[in-house]
Amino acid sequence: METLLQDVRYGVCMLRKNHGFTAVAVVTLALGIGVNTAIFSFADALLFRPLPVKDPARVVTLFRRSIQHPQDYSSFSHPAFLDLRRSVREIFSDLLAYSSWRWGPRGAM
């Protein structure tokens, strides 16, 4: 334990002597801790917490299918979503829309 205290005292003494290195080390640690906290907070809210709905097991996803190409699915346009939302009030308690990005060519997904 005494050796550890001597090492800590020596490290603090060296950091006091070299202000530039100390500033860079502190800023680097602060940025690293801040970025990790932000990423893990986002992942926790997105992946690990339950959905804020009454019965998450009954959540469904709706897609449009093309008659000419039944293997292709697409999302609804905003006007089509609003029309669908008005017309299915007796089937669904509510509808939610979201958008996702396609990375790369369409056939790659």
Would you say residue 108 has pLDDT above 60? no
Residues 85/95, Cβ–Cβ less than 8 Å:
yes
Confidence of residue 77 (pLDDT cuts 50, 70, 90): confident
- Please state, for a pLDDT cut of 70, what percent of the chain lies above it: 90
pTM of the entire predicted model: 0.44
- Evaluated on CA atoms 41, 45, 46, 49, the torsion sign reads positive
User: Alpha-carbon distance 19 to 75, whole Å?
Assistant: 56
Mind listing the pLDDT tens digit for each residue in 19-68? 898 899 999 999 999 999 999 999 898 888 877 778 778 788 777 777 77
CA dihedral 81, 84, 90, 95 (to 10 degrees): -10
